[in-house]
């Protein structure tokens, strides 16, 4: 009878292979249950200063947009040794077409910092890599803005955070394409940015800097957020008004009145979205001379009762 060469050796090795099989299966199960542990260089492999990682959840009160895309939640910690900075600008990402949808915004309160996670995807599925992004954070302003030029859709529009450092966030259609996410804080902060892959997540950690805010916070009222001007701003020959809203049919009424309640200038401008998420608006007004105190009102009339809904900001005339 024909006997293949080496068959006796393979037969003798078979019991050892059978004994190794349960060990290999156990190792595979451990790797599947903790996908981040498979890559020792991944930023999620450890926590700062030995802190125990906590699970980030969808930001409380987050408002869904018209595109229904599921959020993802994962337990994550930050890399040990990553420095917090107070730079006014930053950028990163690996390409423009890596992702086109903000799948979710999650928040986690850790022992020494607070974390915001932007889950990014293509359509309804998580993307593999973080696309190009830029960041703007004026010193002492209490605002951090992450711009994502490749985003065209979002599954979440806004929400609140805890009652400590971070206050709220808004997902806004940017004026030159893409979207930006504004994160508002109650105090000045330092931050660090982490890019996590497969699935794509852009993580921003915040910790208080200990100094007071240098500018008044942006005004919020009804479905309007007024970024500029701030409370107490001085008005000259021109006045630039910018912000975002979800007012009906994207219509925003801007009116400046003097101390006697007389209208100095009035304008209606449209934002670039209102149905899917917050839409950006901006207008520069020529202002006739007026002295003393004035009031800037930005918003819209309620479709229910016709009452004004929006923000009122005291300003000063030259």
Domain containing residue 69: CATH number: 2.60.40.3500
Residues 193 and 117 in one domain: yes
Per-residue pLDDT at 64? 63
Residues 179 and 88 in one domain: yes
Q: How many CB atoms lie within 10 A of CB 229?
A: 21
Q: How far apart are CA 95 and CA 92, in angstroms?
A: 9
Pairing of strands 101-109, 153-154: parallel
C-alpha pair distances (Å), 40 with each of 34, 44, 201: 12, 9, 18
CA dist 282 and 11 (Å) reads 79
The verdict on residue 173 lying in a domain is yes
* Same-domain check for residues 192 and 224: no
**Same-domain pairing of 153 and 187:** yes
Would you say residue 230 lies in a domain?
Answer: yes
Of 184, 180, 183, nearest to 272 by C-alpha is 180
- Residue 73 confidence (pLDDT): 33
Q: What is the CATH number of the domain that holds 298?
A: 2.60.40.10
Segments forming the whole domain that contains residue 49: 42-208
User: Are 185 and 311 contained in the same domain?
Assistant: no
Same domain, 137 and 240: no
pTM score, whole prediction: 0.78
Same domain, 195 and 227: no
Q: How much is the pLDDT for 11?
A: 39
| DSSP letter, residue 304 | T
Residue where a domain stops, chosen among 182, 208, 234: 208
Q: What is the CA radius of gyration of the chain?
A: 26
Q: Give the per-residue pLDDT at 65.
A: 64
Residues whose CB is less than 8 angstroms from the CB of residue 137 and which lie 6 or more positions away in sequence, other chains included: 86, 87, 88, 89, 90, 143, 144, 145, 191
Residues 197 and 247 in one domain: no
Q: State whether 185 and 239 are in the same domain.
A: no
30 within some domain? no
Residues 179, 76, single domain; the answer is yes
Q: Are residues 170 and 233 in the same domain?
A: no
Question: Beta-strand (E) ranges in 141-187?
Answer: 143-148, 153-154, 156-160, 166-173, 179-185
Boundary residue ending a domain (208, 241, 264): 208
Grouped pLDDT means (10 residues each) for the chain, 318 residues: 39 41 42 34 32 60 54 39 87 90 97 96 95 94 96 97 95 97 96 96 94 86 95 92 96 95 95 98 94 93 87 91
Overall number of domains in the chain = 2
The pLDDT of residue 148 is 98
Do 112 and 51 share a structural domain?
yes
Work out whether strand 179-185 and strand 224-228 pair parallel, antiparallel, or are unpaired: unpaired
pLDDT of residue 34: 37
């Amino acid at each position: 009878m024909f006997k293949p060469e080496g068959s006796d050796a393979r037969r003798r090795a078979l019991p050892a292979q059978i004994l190794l099989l349960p060990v290999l299966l156990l190792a595979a199960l451990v790797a599947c249950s903790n996908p981040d542990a498979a890559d020792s260089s991944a930023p999620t492999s450890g926590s700062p200063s030995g802190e125990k990682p906590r699970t980030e959840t969808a930001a409380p009160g987050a408002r869904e947009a018209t595109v229904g895309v599921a959020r993802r939640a994962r337990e994550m910690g930050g890399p040990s040794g990553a420095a917090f900075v107070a730079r006014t600008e930053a950028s990163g990402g690996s390409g423009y077409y890596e992702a086109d949808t903000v799948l979710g915004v999650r928040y986690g309160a850790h022992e020494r910092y607070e974390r915001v996670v932007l889950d990014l995807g293509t359509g309804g599925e998580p993307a593999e890599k973080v696309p190009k992004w830029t960041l703007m954070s004026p010193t002492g302003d209490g605002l951090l803005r992450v711009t994502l030029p490749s985003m065209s859709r979002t599954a979440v529009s806004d929400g609140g955070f805890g009652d400590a450092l971070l206050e709220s966030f808004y997902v806004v259609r940017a004026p030159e394409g893409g979207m930006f996410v504004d994160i508002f804080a109650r105090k000045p902060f330092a931050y660090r940015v982490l890019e996590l892959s497969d699935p794509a997540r852009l993580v921003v950690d915040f910790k208080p800097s200990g100094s007071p805010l240098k500018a008044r916070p942006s005004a919020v009222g009804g479905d309007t957020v007024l970024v500029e001007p701030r409370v107490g701003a001085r008005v000259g020959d021109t006045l630039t008004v910018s912000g975002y809203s979800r007012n009906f049919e994207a219509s925003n009424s801007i009116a400046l009145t003097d101390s006697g309640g007389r209208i100095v200038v009035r304008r209606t401008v449209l934002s670039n979205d209102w149905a899917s998420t917050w839409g950006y608006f901006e207008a520069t007004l020529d202002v006739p001379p007026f002295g003393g105190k004035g009031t800037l009102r930005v918003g819209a009339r309620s479709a229910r009762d016709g009452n004004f809904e929006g923000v009122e900001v005291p300003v000063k005339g030259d």
